[in-house]
């Protein structure tokens, strides 16, 4: 059969096709996505699930004049392929290639950047109201949002406002009962009842003044085209409810939707995942957290765990399986997660609130107002701290030290390795006088034998990893292991000293004063923002005690770091081993 996709480069190319041809295009588009992602990796299931919807939207609407927002953006691969990026799609998420999420700077067809969820309705309403003010009354505005994302507070804020306007917006609810993990909450139950015809007579979206259509089959292309053409003519806020299957078209992805959200490399014919090495490897930090939490919770009945929609990604799933009544997935609701944790802490529970570093930014007020001001000993476990690789600037957890260090009452800890992570978790659940943020990176640690018995740590204590007499290297977190390798490679005997500061707040003031008095030249290294980070804290301390020394800070520069393999991003940021090595060699 003659290929259709090879002749489609922009949405206008779709307009010449007959509706019956679109179904063949859907087959080809699915195959194209599977071909590339099976080799290059990336998000898979979400984009496979919206292939028909993607084609129908670009077929009916006049993008990019009509504004189309994808929420969350990992479902937008088909959109990217149909909007001028087909020939470079194999660079998706690669260093120097296209972004894995919609990005305004990348294409005029990407109406809004969406790396975090639940922003589309607010942004879209802003565009629609701006269009009214500027007399662009014919312009259409469409948001595609999942059932997990629409349950977030911000999405409801957008719906609530949109319902009292006559803004020309269409919200397409892509209902597949999945986020990354299965959707949770009362709204999910309501949508299930809508699908089965057992919902109460009142429709929640109609009550919010939306013209509601659905639920419709999101894989029925002729019907989708027909409904979108009809809705295009209706003024005011509208909602089209479509039912889709995440991973549609690849059997393994349909059967195991959590794994195939972002499966890594796989066989494009069978869907079988590429086999992992049988060699013993250090564990992922998230698994150290998850397994240690269960170990502690089985002995301490006051321990509870909370995650906003990331039980698999955070490994809270281990506690949800072992002690389900004490582990809570609250959905995509970071603000709620933090204040829920605060409420539990008031009643004496030991709360481990696990949120990705980049997502805690969404609950900053709650961290300050509901936890820190009231000095409630919530234990924040910040997964994916530092540079996270291919997900790029929306997901890098590089600001947490800076935005948390200025908050009174809050302790900050960054473990050097898996054993330090276990020890701080053990220490925290024994009882702290203050809340604490424990930050650790994505991916594996560096210890095979990590399940040692746990020890209580002294709050605010650093340690000497290597004595020296010329240069002092101060590190916090796992990047300290890179510094140890560097010092061994330089082989300068006693020239270089190395100190580990797992407590960024409070700093070990006694140890730091000794270092500042002994060494003329001090280097700090961190995988967070250089502005306001660990190095800044050392500089502040030196200034406050009146010591004037050369303190060189290696941290993330004042820029949003792109996507790509982590080692390339370290080099781009100037915090890789060779950059530090060159600096040290020049000094020596």
Average pLDDT of the chain is: 96
**Phi, psi at residue 335, to the nearest 5°?**
-65, -45
Per residue in 307-347, pLDDT (tens digit) is: 999 999 999 999 999 999 999 999 999 999 999 999 999 99
Sole residue written with tokens 């393999």: 565
**Residues 467, 405: contact at Cβ < 8 Å?**
no
DSSP line for 481-520: HHHHHHHHHHT-TTSEEEEE--EEES--HHHHHHHHHH-S
**Residues 494, 469: contact at Cβ < 8 Å?**
yes
Sole residue written with tokens 């998420």: 93
**Residues 81, 38: contact at Cβ < 8 Å?**
no
Whether residue 277 has pLDDT greater than 80 = no
Indicate the pLDDT class of residue 276, thresholds 50, 70 and 90. confident
Give the lowest-confidence range in 266-280, 488-502, 514-528, 545-559.
266-280
Distance of CA 356 to the CA centre of its chain: 6
Indicate the pLDDT class of residue 188, thresholds 50, 70 and 90. very high
Per residue in 80-99, pLDDT (tens digit) is: 999 999 999 999 999 999 99
Instruction: Give the active site residue among 188, 362, 422, 442.
Output: 362
Provide the pLDDT for residue 587.
84
Cα(398)–Cα(561) distance, integer angstroms: 9
Q: What's the whole-number mean pLDDT along residues 176-189?
A: 90
Provide the pLDDT for residue 588.
82
Provide the pLDDT for residue 278.
78
Dihedral of CA atoms 298, 299, 304, 310 in degrees, nearest 10, equals -50
Cα(424)–Cα(208) distance, integer angstroms: 47
Picking from 203, 199, 173, 177, the residue whose alpha carbon sits closest to that of residue 188 is 177
Q: Which pTM does this prediction carry?
A: 0.95
Q: Give me the half-sphere count of Cα atoms (radius 13 Å) on the Cβ side of residue 460.
A: 13
Instruction: Give the active site residue among 246, 248, 317, 439.
Output: 246
Instruction: Give the active site residue among 41, 52, 334, 420.
Output: 334
Provide the pLDDT for residue 297.
98
Provide the pLDDT for residue 2.
80
Whether residue 466 has pLDDT greater than 90 = yes
Whether residue 218 has pLDDT greater than 90 = yes
Q: What's the whole-number mean pLDDT along residues 235-262?
A: 95
Cα(466)–Cα(498) distance, integer angstroms: 5
Cα(123)–Cα(405) distance, integer angstroms: 31
Whether residue 20 has pLDDT greater than 90 = yes
Indicate the pLDDT class of residue 350, thresholds 50, 70 and 90. very high
Cα(246)–Cα(258) distance, integer angstroms: 9
Per residue in 374-407, pLDDT (tens digit) is: 999 999 999 999 999 999 999 999 999 999 999 9
Whether residue 275 has pLDDT greater than 90 = no
Residue 211 CB-density burial (10 A; 0-12 exposed, 13-18 middle, 19+ buried) = middle
456 noted as active-site residue: no
Q: Where are the beta strands (DSSP E) in 492-533?
A: 496-500, 503-505, 521-529
CB atoms within 10 A of CB 189: 12
Q: Please, which residues have CB within 8 angstroms of residue 278's CB and are 6 or more apart in sequence? A: none
In the chain, the percentage of residues whose pLDDT exceeds 70 is 100
Cα(382)–Cα(265) distance, integer angstroms: 27
**Residues 402, 361: contact at Cβ < 8 Å?**
no
Q: What is the spatial order of strands in the sheet that 496-500 belongs to?
A: 463-466, 496-500, 471-475, 521-529, 550-556
246 noted as active-site residue: yes
Q: What's the whole-number mean pLDDT along residues 279-308?
A: 97
CA atoms 243, 247, 250, 254: torsion sign:
negative
Whether residue 1 has pLDDT greater than 80 = no
Provide the pLDDT for residue 493.
83
362 noted as active-site residue: yes
């Amino acid at each position: 059969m003659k290929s259709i996709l090879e002749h489609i480069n922009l949405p206008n190319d779709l307009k010449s096709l007959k509706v019956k041809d679109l179904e063949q295009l859907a087959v080809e588009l699915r195959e194209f996505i599977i071909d590339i992602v099976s080799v290059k990796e990336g998000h898979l299931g979400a984009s496979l699930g919206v292939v028909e919807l993607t084609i129908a939207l670009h077929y009916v609407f006049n993008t990019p004049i009509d504004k189309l927002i994808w929420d969350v953006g990992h479902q937008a691969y088909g959109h990217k392929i149909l909007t001028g990026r087909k020939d470079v799609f194999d660079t998706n998420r690669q260093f120097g290639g296209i972004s894995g999420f919609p990005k305004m700077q990348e294409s005029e067809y990407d109406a809004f950047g969406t790396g975090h969820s639940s922003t589309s309705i607010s942004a879209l309403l802003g565009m629609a109201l701006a269009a009214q003010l500027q007399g662009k009354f014919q312009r259409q505005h469409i948001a595609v949002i999942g059932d997990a994302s629409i349950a977030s507070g911000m999405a409801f804020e957008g719906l609530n406002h949109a319902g009292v306007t006559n803004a020309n917006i269409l919200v397409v609810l892509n209902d597949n009962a999945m986020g990354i993990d299965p959707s949770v909450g009362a709204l999910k139950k309501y949508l299930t009842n809508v699908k089965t015809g057992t919902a109460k007579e009142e429709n929640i979206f109609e009550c919010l003044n939306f013209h509601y259509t659905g639920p419709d089959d999101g894989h029925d292309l002729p019907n989708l085209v027909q409904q979108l053409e009809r809705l295009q003519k209706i003024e005011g806020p509208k909602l089209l409810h479509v039912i889709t299957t995440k991973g549609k078209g690849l059997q393994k992805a349909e059967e195991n939707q959590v794994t195939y959200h972002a499966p890594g490399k796989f066989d494009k014919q069978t869907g079988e995942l590429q086999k992992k090495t049988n060699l013993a490897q250090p564990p992922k930090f998230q698994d150290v957290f998850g397994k240690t939490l269960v170990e502690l919770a089985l002995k301490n009945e006051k321990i509870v765990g909370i995650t906003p929609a990331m039980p698999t990604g955070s490994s809270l799933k281990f506690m949800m399986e072992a002690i389900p009544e004490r582990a809570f997935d609250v959905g995509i609701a970071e603000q709620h997660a933090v204040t829920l944790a605060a409420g539990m802490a008031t009643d004496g529970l030991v709360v481990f609130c696990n949120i990705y570093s980049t997502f805690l930014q969404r609950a900053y007020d709650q961290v300050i107002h509901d936890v820190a001001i009231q000095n409630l000993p919530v234990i924040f476990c910040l997964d994916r701290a530092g540079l996270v690789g291919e997900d790029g600037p929306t997901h890098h957890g590089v600001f947490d030290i800076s935005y948390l260090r200025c908050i009174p009452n809050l302790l900050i800890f960054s473990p050097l390795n898996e054993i330090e992570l276990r020890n701080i978790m053990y220490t925290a659940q024994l009882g702290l006088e203050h809340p604490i943020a424990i930050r650790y990176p994505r991916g594996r640690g560096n210890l095979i034998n990590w399940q040692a018995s746990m020890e209580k740590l002294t709050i605010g204590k650093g340690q000497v990893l290597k004595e020296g007499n010329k240069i002092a290297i101060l590190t916090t977190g796992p990047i300290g292991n890179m510094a140890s390798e560097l010092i061994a490679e330089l082989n300068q005997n006693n020239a270089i000293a190395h100190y580990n500061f797992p407590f960024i707040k409070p700093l070990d003031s006694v140890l730091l004063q000794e270092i500042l008095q002994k060494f003329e030249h001090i280097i700090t290294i961190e995988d967070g923002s250089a502005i306001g980070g660990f190095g800044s804290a050392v500089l502040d301390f030196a200034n406050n005690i009146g010591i004037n020394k050369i303190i060189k800070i290696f941290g993330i520069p004042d820029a949003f770091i792109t996507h790509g393999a982590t080692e390339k991003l370290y080099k781009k940021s100037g915090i890789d081993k060779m950059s530090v090595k060159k600096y040290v060699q020049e000094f020596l």
